[in-house]
A and B are shown apart, each in its own frame.
Chain A
Amino acid sequence: MARLRVWGVLLLLLIGCGGEDTRTVTIYCSHDRAHSQKILDLFERATGIEVEAVFDTEATKTVGLVQRVRGEKARPRCDVHWSNEPLHAVRLAADGFYDVLPLGAGEGIPAEWRDPDRLWCGFAGRVRVLALAPETKAIDSPPRQLSDLAMEQWRGRVAIADPRFGTTASHLAIVRSRIGPDRYRQLLESLRANDVQMVSSNSSSRDRVLSGEVWIGLTDTDDIEVVRRRGASLGEEFLRGDGVLLLPNVIAIIKGAPHPEEARELAQWLLKKEVEELLAASSSRQVPLRREALVPPTGLTIAELDPVEVDWNDAASQLAEAIREAERILLDH
């Protein structure tokens, strides 16, 4: 009998643990924890809604939170998905994982950065960029487009992150979508012929430039900014010849989210202009998608970059094939 009582008390405690007195919302966030946590703290203070966040890490590549969202389809645990690159989010939307965003969410963000069915909305993004080693030829006459990386003068002097993961995969899928499969394969072949080095991540690509192993590293603006703020000297080139590629963060609400009301509030709040301004001022130097957003003098504005227009759905549909071809040509040779 005594044992039964003990088990009874334990069961009550267990059930008690699951009780919720306060309003909570769960977000899966692949943006830099240091910056996004501050923003989520502000939301908590403003609304009183407690935010439970799960952050991504590069250690598990893209298998992380996107796969978690897919794995939890039968019973979602996540309310809001904050993805720091758009193509996987577009695929999740196409596969029916997202619910409709509330009316008015992301007001002021141009239509090219949002889903026409309101399943996702982009905000503040980073730009694909070449990190250039100081005091080298790369600074004097930097490549203007991806195909320039295949020029003889850069042989063995270029590093690219693993083309199957992260923003590099998205970049290649967008390139394939824009130039077509044949020219895409030719581009990859020419890069391989020029001994382009494959490294584990964008930050490794930047680090190889910093260490002098290569002169040019394909990476993102935030990767460059974090080391610049620590005193490192690195040049950058936005590949204007191809058109500047801006990859926005994306907000979406998970279909069947356990806290739908709170999810709508958080999504609406994160898509405010002020959040874009906070991200623009942070060391990740994000580019606000609203032209009227305030950007610090050292920041980047969408007006000066004039990014290229991307067909997100087409690029997302080409992601798998772009990755396969990149693996076959660049990694399996």
Chain B
Amino acid sequence: MKKRQIGAFWALLPVLIGFYFPVISMMIHDGLFEAVAGEFGGSSSSQSVILTTVRIATMSAVLATLVGLLDAVLLAGTRGPARVLIAGMLLATFLIPPAALASAVQGVIGSSTLRATIRDELGAVCMLAFRWAPVACAMLLGAAVLWPVQQERALRGLSPRVALFVRARCLMPQALRCVGLLVLLLISASELPSYAGVETISQRVHARLTVGDAAEGWQLALGMLVAVAPVLLFLVWKLPRSDRSQWGGTVTGLPRLRGVDLLLVIRSIPVLALVFILAVTAWPRASEMAVAGSEFIDGVVGIFQELPRAFIASSIAVICGWRLADGGHRWGLLLLCLPTVLPSSLGALALLHVVRPTLPLVLDDLPILLTLAQTCKLGAVGAAAGLVASRVIPLSESNSSRLLAPVTGRWRVRFPRALPVLLPAVVIGVALVMGEVEATLLMAPPGHPSPALELHQLLHFRNDEQAARIALLLALVGSMLAAIVVAPLRRKDK
């Protein structure tokens, strides 16, 4: 084995320990391979569910990327008031579980108003697309730092409207990868499609586990992997290398277009309306003030307890992705991406069965396995971010850094240069971990706080006011995270 491959091996350790080892052990234990020998891909109805899932995920990813691209181009290519605030608002609702949003909206305008728009596949696609569009926007805003300074200067010399179109075209390679990443992330989404009355592969896998037919569950998951293999290959394909990237796209010189300001204000209205609805629902009656206050404080404590763990899970995934991309290990990146496709509960159950019994008892009270499971789930985010970030550095600089000692060149030169892309990816990962429910329910130690899980429990029994309080807090955290992504991109010249 070559030295360089051994050097990158550690970056695969989290997915090897947290996913491949337990999952393959479970597959053998549950008799998957005998089942595959009999009938691969399950019955024709299962194949149709796989196709539906792929179709919904692809259409949602394309639509989300189009909306995100529009947002990103308008935010990155024009000057105007409160851009950071608008970007913050767009990501604000991403942290709130969809059930909370749907419940709040239904509570105010009535579900009969919505029913024409949210039922069936079209409804599922629309809801998924508008929920995930802010993620596409954040990714593409991050990608905007890839542009060479000369190109950025040339754009600012064009007429403002033409410049916007050119910017959109320049972002197309990243937008295509964004579609690929979103397909992988959306393929295991079950909550919103289920709300729209559409069955996806995650639900069918859950149903198989419920009746104790794990082998068929694994078989379906494997079928899913085969179906998305082209997307996986596309995602880890080479991106064009930049000549010279800029850090901190400056506001100076950007045009100011009144039409764009108006468009962004209109785009923000649904978010403002949602936040307003949540605030109205959350506001306690006079007799409930003390209880609501203590709930609010508990919510804040819970969220801020979870944030560091989410940050660790996301950082590990992103750093591993970058390390593999920096070394050009395309197969490693593929291995990193695969766990994203499967429902979290499958990986989590495998970890519970195979790895947990081998750990010392003292570690049971710590959310180590939960963090590992969520790190594996973020593999595709890490791989995509790593691949894009490794292209930030101009070829000449990259080659020069490789003349240094490998560790110095990698961690002292190339890694700091990749941070403008890696940081937004970490923030997106944090948002995903904060909203994750499946692995959390299966693996979180008793007493471990999980605002998203708590929110689901409250909503099921229509404790709408308490749920709205937590949802508001999550929206606030979402805004703060978005500000972290956007603020450096819009930093003014010193």
Contact = CB atoms under 8 A, between A and B. Distances in A.
Interface in B187-207: 191, 194-195, 197, 199, 203, 206-207
B110 A169 contact: no
B354 to A, nearest CB: 9
B356 A74 contact: yes
Contact of A63 (B112, B206, B365, B454): B206
User: Considering residues B106, B345, B444, which has the most beta carbons from chain A within 10 angstroms of its beta carbon?
Assistant: B345
Nearest to B463: A34
Nearest to B119: A213
Given A61-B203, A328-B45, A67 B349 contact: yes
A53 B111 contact: no
A61 B206 contact: yes
Contacts of A14: 362, 366
Interface stretch (B133-141, B210-218, B270-278, B468-476): B210-218
Interface stretch (A103-111, A270-278, A298-306, A316-324): A316-324
A211 interface: yes
Contacts of B158: none
B460 interface: yes
User: Considering residues B110, B203, B366, B458, which has the most beta carbons from chain A within 10 angstroms of its beta carbon?
Assistant: B203
Contacts of B115: 211, 213
Given A68-B442, A74-B356, A75-B356, A58 B460 contact: yes
A182 interface: no
Given A59-B191, A71-B353, A74-B357, A213 B463 contact: no
Interface of chain B, main secondary structure: helix
Interface stretch (A139-147, A186-194, A197-205, A238-246): A197-205
B56 to A, nearest CB: 15
A102 interface: no
B203 A72 contact: no
B485 to A, nearest CB: 27
A230 B462 contact: yes
B376 to A, nearest CB: 16
Contact of A56 (B110, B195, B211, B441): B441
B461 A33 contact: yes
B364 interface: yes
A55 interface: yes
A218 to B, nearest CB: 16
A82 B361 CA distance: 24
Contacts of B453: 55, 57
A64 B456 CA distance: 13
Contacts of B199: 331
Contacts of A297: none
Nearest to B199: A331
Given A77-B364, A226-B461, A58 B456 contact: yes
B352 interface: yes
Interface size class on chain B is 35 or more
Interface in B336-358: 345, 348-349, 352-353, 356-357
A62 B444 CA distance: 17
A15 B195 CA distance: 44
A213 B361 CA distance: 52
A52 B441 contact: no
A210 B446 CA distance: 36
B97 interface: yes
B352 A71 contact: yes
A271 B353 CA distance: 31
Contact of B211 (A17, A197, A319): A319
A64 B345 CA distance: 9
A310 interface: no
A14 B361 CA distance: 12
Contacts of A72: 352, 356
B347 to A, nearest CB: 12
Contacts of B463: 34
Interface string A199-224: 11101100110111100000000100
Interface string A139-162: 000000000000000000000001
B259 interface: no
A207 B349 contact: no
20 contacts: A18-B361, A34-B463, A56-B457, A57-B453, A57-B457, A59-B437, A60-B345, A62-B206, A62-B210, A63-B209, A63-B438, A68-B352, A71-B349, A71-B352, A200-B195, A211-B115, A213-B115, A320-B212, A323-B207, A323-B210
